[in-house]
Each structure stands twice: as C-alpha cells, then as structure tokens.
Structure 1
Amino acid sequence: MRSLGLLWRYPVITLTVLAFALVGVLHAVDQQQVGRWIATVYVAAVVVWTLIGMVRDVLRGHVGLDILAVVAMVATLAVGEYIAALIIVLMLSGGEALEDFAGRRARRDLSALLDRSPRIAHVLHDPGDAQSDEAHDVPVDEVAVGDVLLVRPAEIVPVDGTLLTAEGEFDESSLTGESLPVSRHAGEEVLSGAINGSRAIRLRALRTGADSQYQQIVALVHQAESSHAPIVRLADRFAIPFTAVALVLAGTAWALSGDATRFAEVLVLATPCPLLIAAPVAFLGGLSRAAKSGVIMKSGAVVEQIARVRSAAFDKTGTLTQGRPELVEVRPAPGFDADEVLQLAASAEQYSSHVLAAGIRTAAEARGLPLEAAAEASETATNGVSATIRGRTVVVGKPAYVASLAPDTVRAELGTGEAAAYVAVDGRFAGALLLADAARPEAAAVVSWLRLHEVERVAMLTGDVRSTAESVAHQLGIEEVHAELLPPEKVRLAAELEPRPVLMVGDGVNDAPVLAAADIGIAMGAKGATAAGDAADVVILVDSLAKVVDAVAIGRHTLRVALTAIWIGIGLSVGLMVVAMTGLIPAVAGALVQELVDLATILYALRALSGPPSGLRPGADGTGADAVPAVAATPAPGR
C-alpha cells in the first residue's frame, strides 16, 4: 500500500518510468518508430502541462527553471532525441520529488500543535455538591461560560476559568516561560494550557474554548505562518540568466553555421538537470546530516534561510537557561549545620513531586550526602512535605506552612530570580534553601559564535521581568533585551528586527507564535514542547543550545555545496555548448555527455552529507561549550 501511495504521489515520475519501459520494449521488438511517437506525444503533453503551470507562475510574478526545462524538451524533440527528452522529464520531476520528500521526512518526526491542545473537559453534574466529583466529559468546544469544571491532577486546564478550590498549583511554563509552578487562590484566573498540580481542582469557565488563552496562541501561530512570503528555490534564481546564455549561444551557432540542427545540438547540452538536481540533493544531504546531529529542519528552503541568518533572538527560560531550579545556597539557622539541613531536607523531598524537590535532592547527592528513608511521610499539596527521619520530624515547604509548625521561622532575603524552600526540624526553624535557574553552560559560547560568524544583531525576547532578563543577558554577552513581553508583542518585535533573515530560538506554547513569525524559528523540543515544535522551522531534539550553532553551520556548509554544484553544472554545460557550436558534438553524444555533467554535479552535491564541524568544542560537562556562570531565573515566591 505504501508503494502504491508513492506512485500516486509522484505520477509524472511513474508515467515517465513506464514510458521508458514501453519504449525499451518497442525497441527490442523492432518498433522504434512507434516508440518514438509514444515518447514524443508523452513529452509534448508534459510540455503543455508545464507551460500551463508557467503561465500561472508568471501571473504571480515568478519565473523559475520550468522555462529552461521546456526549451530543453522542445529542442531535444526537434532533433529527434526523444530518449534525452524523457530523461529531462525524469530529472525535472525527480528534483521536485526530492524537495517534497525531504520536507515530508523532516516533518514526520514532529508532533502537531493540536496534539497538546485540550480536547475534553470534565463538567460537574452537581456543582453545588462540594463532596461530589461526579462529572461527564464533553468536547472543549461545547463548554459554556459559567460551567463548573473538574481538573484532575496533572491534567491540562481546558478553558480559561476562575478557581473555585481554595488553592491550586499550576505549571504555566509552556504559556509564560516561568519555570517554577505558580500558586493560584480561590477567585483568581487560571489560563487554559496550564498543567494542574498534584490535587484535583474546580474552576468556573470564564470563556469558551475558542476564546481561551491556548486557542488564541494557536490562532496567532496560524496567522504568523500565513503571513510568510513564499521562498524562491535556490536554482530558480539561475533560470533566466542560464536560459538567456544558452539561447544566445545556440542562436549564434545557428547564425554562423546556417544549420538549424546546430541550434538543437547546443540546447541539448543546456538541459537544466544540474540545476534541478544539484540543489535538492545537497539540501537533502544537509537535512540528513542535521537529523543525525539531533536537529530536524523541515525543508530545503529552511536550510537556505538559516545559512543566510543575520539577526538572532532568544527566549530566556528554558532556552538560554536550563528551565530547572538548582540549589545556590544553604542558609542554616543558628544551631544547625548546612549539610545537616540539606541532607534532612533532601531526604524528606524524596516524597515530594514539587519542582524544587528535584533540585534539592540533586544538590544533596552532588555533595555526597546520602538520602535516608522516612518512617512515614506525607505531602500537603502546594505547601510542603513532612517526614519522620531518624525519629526527627522534618518539614520542608513554603514559609507560611513551615511557620505554622515552627513559629521561629525567619523569611530569607532573596536575590534576583531566587526561590526558597524553608526547613523545620522538630518544630524549630532549621534554615532555608535558595534555588535559581542556571544558565545553560553553552549559552555564552553560542552567543559569541553567532557574533563571530556574521550574525550582526543578538537580542533577548522574554516574558520575564526586566531585572532578571538583564542579569542573564549581561552574563551571556547579550546587550539588547526586551522583557515582560506577551506573545503578540514578541511577534511584533520579531517582525521589526533588522537585518534579516531573523532567527528566533524558544520553547513552549508561548513561543509558538514568534517562532512561526520569524524567518527561521528554532524550537528547543527535547522536553516535548509540541506547540513550539509545530510552529518552528527547526526543532532541536537534544537538550543543548549548542545545536543552534550546528544548525547554522550545517546550513551554511550545505548552501556552499549546493551553489558550488550548480556552478560546476553551469560551467561544464556552457563549456560544452561552446564546443557544440563548432559541430564537434552531435545531438546524441551531447545528450550522453550531459548525463555525465549531471553525475558530476550530483556527486559533488553529496558532499553536503559531511563537512567541517561548527567550531564549538565540548566543555567539561559535555554540553558543547565551556561552562559559564549560573544565572538567576524569573523571580518567584518560595514553595
């Protein structure tokens, strides 16, 4: 079935191969004249169909390689070289199929935007019964304003609503870029697309599905994508000059010799096959090489665009920073040791699913502090965790929660972007653990590499507060900062950035519109940001910003190979045409020689499968660059 699908998808290739086979059979049974007529009629039909497409393109203001292909097909038919004409048809359709195949293969590994979009909502049967969670599922589009919904733990909030439960905790990182969970209280608004925490909550629908935050972001993505100008294929830019040169040489040969056959003999060597095949083969090689490096590019046009990039913009949280909090300081209370506080807190946090818990456990393990089992443990959602360890009651959580159990709790003074987890032991305040979101160790090297390789402008576009954004930007060498932005503002700024093309790197749903609006959108897709992945032109499957450099380096190498292959084809073709002007190359020999030119350009284009490295050297942590100092993330409350 798959083979039949391919045959149906590329009918011109299928019909051309069948025509070759039929002509071959007719030659074998000594029916060359019938074969000639079949090939001539078929190629003539392709010429007519191509001319119709050319007229449509011209009406849209675009002239491509089709004009050269038509001239070459007509010329070969005129001199009776119908086999050469069939080869030109095959090369013409094959080049287009290669481009289409490259794009399809690249997109096959990407998730669609709507895969993450909420589809089902749980509407409560009896909203007035606080003890009953009996609900029926309805499509999100059928939720009416005022409906009371149940959102279970770890589910996506289906529509914008007002929180009815006393308190809830939500992961809004895909909407706002904020890496830490956000607490909401009864009466506050919760946005669709946020992920509920560890307890079921109720909310009253404020808007319908179509009017909610997530769906508005989806609409922005579609709007940005539809506003993109079409990209002219690389080889199309050579069409008119090459066609003009070929016609001038052929006409000159005819005029000097007085023999019309000389015109056709020269044009046989002017077939556009090197142009039609060289660029698609090179771009397909570049796409393959990028995929092996963990970088998915969606088409050959993307390869060309990223090779020419002149401006770059980055989101902050999860892009320039790692998107996960790390322990930066332990502040023990009098009478407690720092390692003791960290070990007890990490042991208790074994029983917590909170985002800060992982950072605390990791820090303890890094310091060689073994985690101890608890005799009993419990977690109070959004507040903290309590555990009995070595007979001692350890509580880790928000300051208010810990203070309710240890009245001597003292709030810590937080630096820019820091969050705190408070610790109490046996009813006494034991200290505070300060965490921050560290910059990616390769981020500074990536920014530096771009500046050294013809990227004239580097900017940060983030929804985070200005003080944190500027702190991160300063340490990474980024001078231009645009902070506290909403998705539409990011789209506007990306559209205004000069010089172009503009590259934008981000992750999460909130970055999807600006990735779609940029000339080249790159999504950090390693953590499953499907919305960003669908909107972007490039998706990085490895959690390393150094892959941005790899993408640009591969794009530039691929473009150089494609251009060189095209010039090799043009140079050889023009040289052979000059020789053919003297009558030394008959039409049949010219068609065969031209295939050798095609082979030479294809072999050279395959060099795109390999090439020089980007220049970034792996650092000590293996991330692709030397480590840079950790920086803070968006200011956030403690647990």
Structure 2
Amino acid sequence: MLVRDIFMGDNGVMNKKLNTPNPWMLFIRSFDGIITVAALVAIAIHLILWLALDLDGLAKNWPLIAIVIVGGIPLMWDVLKSAIKTRGGADTLAAVSIITSVLLGEWLVAAIIVLMLSGGEALEEAASRRASGTLDALARRAPSTAHRLLGATILDGTEEIAVEEITVGDLVAVLPHELCPVDGEIVAGHGTMDESYLTGEPYVVSKSKGSQAMSGAVNGDTPLTIVATKLAHDSRYAQIVGVLHEAENNRPEMRRMADRLGAWYTVIALALGGLGWIVSGDPVRFLAVVVVATPCPLLIAVPVAIIGAISLAARRGIIVKNPGMLENASGVKTVMFDKTGTLTYGRPVITDIHTAPGVEEDTVLALAASVERYSRHPLADAIREGAKARELHLPDVVEVSERPGQGLTGTVGEHLVRITNRRSTLEIDPDSKNYIPVTSSGMESVVLVDDKYAALIRLRDEPRASASEFIAHLPKKHKVDKLMIISGDRASEVRYLADKVGIDEVHAEASPEDKLNIVNRHNEHGATMFLGDGINDAPAMAVATVGVAMGADSDVTSEAADAVILDSSLERLDDLLHISARMRRIALQSAGGGMALSVIGMILAVFGFLTPLMGAIFQEVIDVLAILNSARVALPRGAISDFDTQEKVS
C-alpha cells in the first residue's frame, strides 16, 4: 500500500484519472502522520540545542523524550497488537530497539525509530483509505435526488425529492443527462440511456415505452418518464453497492513479505542479543546486536523493489494501484475471466441468417434491427450493424417491451416482432421445430413475426487474436492450475467462447453476487486472479487475491482493481505476471542477502568485535547494497514476457 501512494502521489494525472484522493493529504491528517512530522521537528530541535547551543543532559533531550512518550507508546502498542496477529514481523524488532534505547538513555536512537515506525504506519493508513476509494466512487455517483411528477405527465410539473422517498408506482421524470434514480419502466418519452457504467458493455441503449430503466444509468438528450418498479434501496445500483461493500469488508488479508520474513529474523536477533548480554554481562552488547539487526534491508529493499516494479509496469501501460498484489500475482493458482472485453473484443458480428420458407433475409433483418434499437443487449448492436451494412431501411417501432425471460417484443407497423431464444420459440410456435436448425452453436437470436418463426440469426463474438495461445501459456509458464470464465452473458455464448480459447469451466448468466461467491470459494484453495471491465465485476475484483481491470473506462472498476491494464491487452497481463515474479525474486535476494549479512554482523557484535557505532556503519553498508540490488527491478536487460505476441498474431 505504501508504494502505491508514493507512485500515484507523484503523478497527479493518474490520481485525477482514477479519482483517487491525494495520499499526502491523507498522510498529514492521520495521527501517525502528525507523529511523523512531530518526530522530525523534535530531532531538529534536539540537534540545535546540542550542536548550536551546546546544551547537555535533559536540556538537549527533552524534545526527544517528549516525542518518544507521546508517539512511541501508542506505536509500540499497535506493533504489539500487530505482532500477536501476524505472529511477529519486521516492526517488532524496531519496537524492541525503542525500549532498549530508552533503558540505556539513547533518546536520539529511540526518536529515530519512532520516526521510522510512524512514517510507515501513516503511509499504510493513507493507502488503506485509498483502498476504500471504490465505495467512495460509488457514493459520489449514487443518485441522490429525483423529480416526481405532480400529475399524469411531466407537463403537470414535478417536485424534487430524495430518492429514498420514491415509492413503487411513482411516476418519475428523468431529465437529460441525469442519473436514473430507481429501477423502473419507461411510460413516456423516446431517447437513450448510457448503461455502460453498470453493465461493462460500451453501448448507448435506445429507450421507448415499455423499456426497462436501471438506477445509475445516464439519460441522453431527451427527458423520459418512468414508473418506479422498485424502491431505491432495492434497485440495481444499490444492490451492487451492497455487494461491493460486503466484498470490501471481507477482503482476504495477505501477510506482507516483510512480516513473513521478519518473524524469524526478529527471533534470531533477540536470541543473539540476549546471548551477547549474557556472555559479556554488558547490556550495551545487546544494543550493539540490535543496532546491527535493524531490519532496514527488509523495510527498505522490498519497497524499493516494488517502486521499480510499478515504474516498469507503468512503462508498459499497466497502472499498479495496490503494490501488495505484486507480491502475489505471480503465484496465483486460479485465473477467472469475465467474457466481454477481456477474452473478446466485445464486438459480435452476424455470421449467417437462417430463414423460414418464404421469408426474405433483408426483410426479417430490418424488422429485427428496428426493435433492437431499444435493447441494451450486446447482440442488439451487432444486428443493427448488420442491417446498416446492408443499407436497409428500418421501419418505426410503435411500442417495445423487454421483460426478463421473455425476450424483446416490439410492434413494427402491422407486425408483432419478437426476438427471443429457441426454447421460447418452440413454446410460442411449436411448428418452428420443422424449420429452425437443430444444432445451436455460439450466439443466436430467433426472430418471430406475428408469433411465427421467421429467422434464426447466428452471431459470433470472436476471441482476441492471441486468446487461445495465451490461455495455453498460463499453465505452462505461470503454473496456473485452474482457468474459468465467469460471465453474465448467455450460457451458449460463454460456452462457445470457452471452447474456442480452451477453457473447460464456465459460469454463465452470473450476477455480481454470483461472481463474488465463486471467487470466495476459490480463495479458500489458493491465490486467485479476476479480470473484468465493468462495474458488475467490481465486487469479484475486490475480493480476489489479485483484481485486474481491463481498460479504465469505469472509475469504480479501476478503484476496485489492484491493477489496471489501460489498453485491455492480454499481452500486457503476461507482462504483469512476469513483473510480479521479477519483483519477488529480486526483493527476496535483497532482503534475504541483507539479513544474512546482518546475521553475520550480529554474531560479530555478540563477541564484541562490533561496537554499536561500528554496527551502525556496517548496517548502512548492507542497506546500500540491498537498495542497489532492488533498484534492478526497473531496469531489465532483455524482454520481460516470454509470450511471443508477434508470432501468435501472425
């Protein structure tokens, strides 16, 4: 979390683009941030009193004593609680150093350690607050007011009320460019709504009488009147907020690399320090060991490696928002993909049209495209584009209705046009079994005219050019055990794509709640990664070990994700996995090597070969070596990825 704030804080454009608060303001406002600033001031005053005024004893040490009491005691209490929770960590040794320094009258050493601890805690807290930016983004965008009609039409006037006051059956005006306040049905008006924020599909949807409206959708240029079908707290937007809130509260905690390594390192340092004290009978020997043991390679080398990894990722169009994910991304065992926009381009096209006897392709396509102007389904755009490519004239639609499980129905001229699936078609027109193709493959829409089978339109949302090769690459090169697609799309569409790219497990027609539950189940068996691009993916991203957003079109999705791949490229995802592995490898080299050298120094201090001052110098040399090695993360000599995109595309 620390490094994410440092990196994002240096780039105001990224902060603005992803709607994240200024981390340094969060830093200064926190208690630990105040202690950090106070510790710096106290140390400065102490140096002035000592060096400039030549004061001694309490006269020069009172600022240090004050900051150690005011800031050190709460910090050590927090460290104690954290040590119990995480079974010890790097901060534990720093707390022991404070206590030892106080007992031996080394107030400057104690104040410096308070500065180190408080600064780290403040940055962690600031980062944690930014982690809740997902819910903040939702709250900022949530519909808050509504315009309830005073009469039967908008011409009778409206009153502005809070969305919580809307009841089922109320008539509500949705003004141009306004957020739809509740779920409802259009009863008057003809226009469009942008639902991409909610569905993840980049489509502006036409709306007319009978169309469904979702809370949180953005109205177009024309006022619409809806009848509320749900209360605000039961509407779709509120449901997604609730699921995301649950996901944030139940996000699995991952032990930091520093905590995992620091637990045993602390035990070794304290044991050697105690041995030195026992052997010599001098507590200064213990202090010398502790000074050498100060876990700077652990506290510094890992963040430096993470900063380098974030910089390297940014140069490849990947924004890392949660540095903790870099410790886990290369070790994920289960990778879960949303379908549209991740494995596919999200642009299905018509492949063929199977018509009933006596029905012209162009005629039925024109009727279907006319009705599909009022649908938000991704296939609707493909059908409209198919009609446009043939330069067909689209007749006007008098009335349209789209109800769950019943397909899309519209009145076009004198005809009732229904667009549905083959199961409903067989129920409506049993004779259609004599004409409709027996096999179903990929995506399809069945068109009925006056409740008689007219045509079956086959479509395909083709996978990305290198999708199948990339799916095969993950188990081979990244030791991924399980791959799956979790999508809200139809089962036939998801199954078709899965077969094309080589994925066996699919979960189709999944709601945000379903996606969240699936991720939670797999979290119990190892590290998980979820890739998506819509707000409906945000809860799953938030609870997965690693959440990756493909593209930055939704600020909520970007906030929920641990990393954002700006160009929605699977090749960039491979870069991210390799950057994570590189960061872990070099960070472990730096931290492990630094601690090994520190152990050697501690052994020398135990037997009196290193005084506290010499130990401090020895530790500084180790710190420099660890930092220089960690800095290599940002400077790879050759290619990072081993996924040859040029070969796959060609």
* TM band (smaller chain): 0.7 to 0.9
Find out whether 1:506 has 2:529 as its counterpart.
no
- Structure 1: distance between partners of 2:203 and 2:353: 19
The aligned runs of 1:204-243 (5 Å cut-off) are 204-243=227-266
For the 8 Å contact 1:166–1:186, the answer to whether it is kept is yes
Letter in 2 for 1:437: D
Deviation per CA, 1:208-253: give whole Å up to 9, x if none.
Answer: 1111122111101101211123333221223331122112222222
- Report the counterpart of residue 506 of structure 2 in structure 1: 481
Deviations 1:515-553 (A, max 9, x none): 223222222243x23333333333333232333323322
Residues in 1 aligned to 2:624 and 2:187: alpha-carbon distance in whole angstroms: 70
1:68 aligns with 2:64: no
Q: Secondary structure at the match of 2:461?
A: strand
Partner of 1:448: 472
Q: Does 1:52 align with 2:77?
A: yes
Equivalent position of 1:394 in the other structure: none
The whole-number CA distance in structure 1 between the counterparts of 2:103 and 2:332 is 45
Opposite residue 253 of structure 2, the aligned amino acid is P
Q: Percent identity?
A: 35
Amino acid aligned to 1:516 = A
Name whichever of 232-241 and 309-318 sits farther off. 232-241
- Aligned partners of 1:523 and 1:533 also within 8 Å: yes
Determine which of 124, 136, 142 is the counterpart of 2:149. Answer: 124
Residues 71-82 of structure 1: pairs in structure 2 closer than 5 A: 71-78=96-103, 81-82=106-107
Structure 1 Cα separation of the partners of residues 570 and 128 of structure 2: 23
Confirm or deny that 1:416 pairs with 2:442. Answer: yes
Amino acid at match of 2:97: A
Which SS does the other structure have where 2:92 is aligned? Answer: helix
Name the aligned partner's letter for residue 220 of structure 1.
V
Equivalent position of 2:55 in the other structure:
31
Do structure 1's residue 437 and structure 2's residue 461 form an aligned pair?
Answer: yes
**Structure 2 unaligned regions, length at least 5:** 1-21, 356-360, 401-408, 416-434, 448-454
Structure 2 partner of 1:320: 343
Match of 1:522 among 544, 548, 570: 548
**SS of residue paired to 1:543:** coil
Q: In structure 2, do the counterparts of structure 1 residues 92 and 562 end up closer, same or farther at CA, with 3 Å as the change threshold?
A: farther
Distance in 2 of aligned mates of 1:364 and 1:271? 71
Letter in 1 for 2:537: D
Residue number in structure 2 paired with 1:112: 137
Cα distance, 1:68 vs structure 2: 0.5
Measured in 2, the distance between the counterparts of 1:362 and 1:184 equals 18
Q: Does 1:305 align with 2:324?
A: no
Correspondences of 1:178-193 after superposition (within 5 Å): 190-193=213-216
Separation in 2 of the partners of 1:287 and 1:196? 38
Match of 1:616 in 2: 643
| Counterparts in 2 of 1:474 and 1:433: CA distance versus 1, 3 Å | closer
- What is the DSSP-based 3-state SS (H/G/I as helix, E as strand, rest coil) of the residue aligned with 2:497? helix
Q: How does 1:369-448 map to 2 (within 5 A)?
A: 380=396, 401=412, 416-418=442-444, 436-448=460-472
Displacement after TM superposition at 1:456 (Å): 0.7
- Looking at structure 2, the residues matched to 174 and 63 of structure 1 have their Cα atoms a distance apart, in angstroms, of 43
Which letter does structure 2 place at the counterpart of 1:504? F
Q: CA, structure 1 residues 357+489, in 2 after alignment: closer, same or farther (shift >3 Å)?
A: closer
**Larger CA deviation: 100-109 vs 514-523:** 100-109
The one-letter code matched in structure 1 to 2:52 is A
Shift of the alpha carbon at 1:42? 3.5
Q: Measure, in 2, the Cα distance between the counterparts of 1:364 and 1:619.
A: 34
CA deviation map 1:194-215 (0-9, x unaligned): 5567765432112211111221
SS of 1:322's partner is: coil
**CA gap 1:150/1:236 in 2 versus in 1, 3 angstroms:** same
Match of 2:300 in 1: 277
Query: Kindly tell me: are residues 97 and 285 of structure 1, through their superposed partners in 2, closer, same or farther at Cα, counting changes over 3 Å?
Result: farther
CA displacement at 1:311 relative to structure 2: 0.6
Matched, 1:548 2:567: no
2:423 aligns to what? none
Q: Is the 8 A contact 2:201 2:534 kept in 1?
A: no
Distance in 2 (CA, whole Å) between partners of 1:139 and 1:378 is 40
Q: Which amino acid aligns with 2:38?
A: L
| Alignment partners' CA distance in 1, 2:550 and 2:601 | 48
Distance 1:5 1:168 in 2: 43
Q: What amino acid sits opposite 2:155 in the alignment?
A: S
1:147 deviates by: 0.9
Structure 1 counterpart of 2:618? 593
Correspondence list, 1:193-212, <5 A: 193-194=216-217, 200-212=223-235
Aligned partner of residue 542 in structure 1, secondary structure: coil
Distance change (3 Å), C-alpha of 1:262 and 1:56: closer
Which residue is equivalent to 1:255? Answer: 278
In structure 2, do the counterparts of structure 1 residues 610 and 111 end up closer, same or farther at CA, with 3 Å as the change threshold? farther
Letter in 2 for 1:250: G
User: 2 CA distance for matches of 1:541 and 1:589?
Assistant: 49
Distance 1:488 1:378, change over 3 A: closer
| Residue 303 (structure 1) shift | 2.3
How far the C-alpha of 1:169 sits from its partner, in A, is 6.9
How far 1:259 sits from its partner (Å)? 3.4
- Supply the RMSD in Å over aligned alpha carbons: 4.6
Whichever residue aligns with residue 540 of structure 2, its letter is: V
Q: C-alpha distance in 1, partners of 2:269/2:37?
A: 30
SS at structure 1 position matched to 2:345: strand
The DSSP-based 3-state class of the residue aligned with 1:269 is helix
* Cα deviation digits, residues 314-360 of structure 1 (max 9, x gap): 1112222222334646999xxxxx9xx9xxx9xx99xx999889879
CA contact (8 A) 2:442 2:459 kept: no
User: What secondary structure sits across from 1:93 in the alignment?
Assistant: helix
User: Is the contact made by 2:298 and 2:591 (CA closer than 8 Å) also made in structure 1?
Assistant: yes
1:208 to 1:362, Cα distance in 2 relative to 1, 3 A? closer
* Letter in structure 1 aligned against 2:334: S
CA shift, 1:170, in A, is 6.1
Deviation of 1:439 after TM superposition, in Å, equals: 1.9
Equivalence for 1:566: 591
Amino acid at match of 2:641: S
Q: Partner residue of 1:391?
A: none
- With over 3 angstroms needed to count, the CA separation of the structure-2 counterparts of 1:188 and 1:330, relative to structure 1, is closer
Give the match's secondary structure for 1:121. strand
- Give the Cα–Cα distance (whole angstroms) in 2 for the partners of residues 7 and 486 of structure 1: 40
The count of aligned residue pairs is 581
Q: TM-score, normalised by structure 1?
A: 0.76
Cα separation, partners in 2 of 1:448 and 1:279, compared to 1, 3 Å: same
In the superposition, relative to structure 1, how do residues 572 and 326 fare at CA in structure 2: closer, same or farther (>3 Å)? same
Contact 2:135 / 2:241 at 8 angstroms: preserved in 1?
Answer: no
| Structure 1, unpaired ranges of 5+ | 333-337, 385-397, 405-410, 422-430, 628-639
Deviation at 1:108, TM superposition (A): 8.1
How far does the alpha carbon of each residue in 1:554-585 deviate from its partner, in whole angstroms, 9 at most, with x for none? Answer: 22222223222211221121111112223222
Aligned partners of 1:76 and 1:114: how far apart in 2? 47
Residue pair 1:92, 1:276 contacting (<8 A) in 2 also: no
Distance 1:569 1:417, change over 3 A: same
Instruction: Give the number of the structure whose residues are more often helix, by fraction.
Output: 2
Do the aligned partners of 1:116 and 1:531 also contact (CA within 8 Å) in 2? no
